[in-house]
């Protein structure tokens, strides 16, 4: 009897070890698949030989020339500035709109609340480019084509539709906190600023990140709106030009260098904000 028990316990431990090994192998494979393109990109950006494809993996000559060319021979810096400006403004506006919409939908009860939420959800499911032509003509009427402001308007216009995840988070913050604060003398606005926002850090970070990354890499709308004015290009539009048949041989390694530079703000932003992704911010507020 005793022996059987020990055997059973041992076999359970063994099974656990096997499972872990399999899991780790799968994870390593996935990581390699994910990281390999970026690794290749960095290597290509440091390649001295021009051209798009080579028959070898590692460069014969290593150089930073591509990075120097990027900032001296191209308009990359302008595009970079444009993209950064658009992304930062969109991030700020969109985060505020999303948070406020989500709070209202989570906490206030008003007529047509549910139909409105459903409508927003359904509208959000349609790809944005379906309305591209219409938006172009509207902006043209307002003389906002080839304008960064116009681009910001396009990006922030549908911000409120991204309420869903944020509202879900607000729903998990106990309503009794709002009620306690309201009895303590707070208005809805004070409750939002002083109680809800400090507790919603993870979702604020999430909103900031998603709001930033979307315009940072967006190509379709910006290429359509900025057509014909390279000084208003965003990085995605500008860099796409380097991959055209006539440019690709000359600019491929510069393109790779640009891609590395483009990834820096997002990586930095993520590393900086990662620490706020801590769990348990609401710990101890109400009985768990």
Partner 1 sequence: MASLSLKHIYKVYPNGTKAVNDFNMEIEDKEFIVFVGPSGCGKSTTLRMIAGLEDISAGELMIGDLVVNDVEPKDRDIAMVFQNYALYPHMTVYENIAFGLRLRKLPKDEIHRRVTEAAEILGITEYLDKKPKEMSGGQRQRVSLGRAIVREPKVMLLDEPLSNLDAKLRTQMRSEISKLHARLNTTFIYVTHDQVEAMTMGTRIVVMKNGYVQQIDTPKNLYNYPGNKFVAGFIGTPQMNFFEGTLLKKGEEVEIKFAYSDAVITVPYSMLYKTRPSYLDGKTTVYIGLRAEDISLDPEKVKNSNAVVKVRISHKEELGSETLVYGDINMSGDGYSESSTRVIIKDESDRDFKPGEVVDVALDMEHVHMYDKETEVSILPRIPEYNYLPCSVKGGVLSVLTANIKLPPAISCPDGDGEMLIPTDAITLGNGNDAKVVSCEEINGKYLAELLVGERRLYAVVPQAIQPGNVSFKFDIKKISILRDGKEIISPMNEMVDLDGMFLKEKYVGEQEVNGKKKKVKAVRFDYEIGGAKFTADDETSQKLITVMGLKNAFTTALVFECSVYDFIVGDSGIPATVEDIVDYGSEKFVRCSTPCGTVMIYADKDYSGKIYISPDFTKTGIIEKDRDIRII
Site string for partner 1, 164-203 (x = CB under 8 A): ----------x-xx-xxxxxxxxx--x----x--xx----
Q: Which residues contact 67 (CB under 8 A, 6 or more apart)?
A: 45, 257, 261
- Of residues 267 through 286, those in contact with partner 1 by CB under 8 A are 280-286
Query: Which residue's entry shows tokens 């390593």?
Result: 28
Least distance in angstroms from the C-beta of 246 to partner 1 = 58
Other Cβ atoms less than 10 A from the Cβ of 260: the count is: 18
Report in angstroms how near the CB of residue 288 gets to partner 1 at its nearest.
9
Over the window 223 to 262, marking each residue x when it contacts partner 1 by CB under 8 A and - when it does not, the resulting string is: ----------------------------------------
If one counts every other C-beta atom within 10 angstroms of the C-beta of residue 170, the result is 23
Is residue 42 at the binding interface for partner 1, with CB under 8 A as the rule?
A: no
How big is the site for partner 1, counted in residues (CB under 8 A)? 24
Question: What separation in angstroms does the CA of 45 have from each of 69, 73, 230, 237, 262?
Answer: 11, 16, 23, 19, 13
As to burial, measured by CB atoms within 10 angstroms (0-12 exposed, 13-18 middle, 19+ buried), residue 65 is: middle
CB-nearer residue toward partner 1: 134 or 183: 183
The residues pairing with 47 across neighbouring beta strands, listed in sequence order, are 62
Q: Which residues bind partner 1 (CB under 8 A)?
A: 174, 176-177, 179-187, 190, 195, 198-199, 280-287
């Amino acid at each position: 009897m005793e022996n059987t028990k020990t055997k059973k316990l041992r076999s359970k431990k063994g099974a656990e070890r096997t499972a872990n090994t399999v899991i780790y192998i799968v994870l390593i494979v996935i990581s390699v698949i994910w990281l390999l393109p970026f690794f290749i990109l960095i290597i290509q950006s440091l390649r001295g030989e021009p051209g798009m494809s080579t028959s070898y993996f590692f460069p014969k000559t290593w150089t930073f020339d591509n990075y120097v060319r990027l900032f001296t021979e191209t308009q990359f810096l302008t595009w970079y500035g444009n993209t950064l400006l658009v992304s930062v403004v969109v991030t700020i506006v969109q985060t505020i709109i999303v948070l406020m919409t989500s709070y209202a939908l989570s906490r206030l009860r008003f007529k047509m609340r549910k139909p409105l939420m459903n409508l927003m959800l359904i509208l959000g499911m349609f790809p944005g480019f379906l309305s591209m032509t219409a938006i172009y003509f509207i902006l043209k009427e307002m003389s906002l084509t080839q304008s960064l402001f116009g681009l910001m308007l396009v990006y922030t216009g549908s911000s409120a539709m991204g309420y869903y995840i944020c509202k879900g988070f607000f729903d998990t913050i106990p309503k009794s906190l709002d009620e306690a604060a309201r009895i303590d003398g707070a208005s809805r606005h004070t409750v939002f600023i002083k109680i809800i926002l400090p507790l919603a850090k993870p979702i604020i970070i999430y909103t900031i990140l998603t709001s930033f990354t979307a315009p940072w890499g967006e190509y379709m709308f910006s290429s359509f709106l900025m057509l014909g004015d390279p000084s208003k290009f965003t990085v995605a539009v500008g860099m796409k030009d380097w991959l055209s048949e006539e440019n690709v041989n000359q600019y491929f390694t510069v393109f790779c260098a640009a891609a590395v530079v483009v990834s820096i703000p997002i990586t930095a932003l993520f590393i900086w904000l990662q620490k706020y992704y801590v769990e348990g911010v609401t710990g101890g507020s109400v009985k768990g």
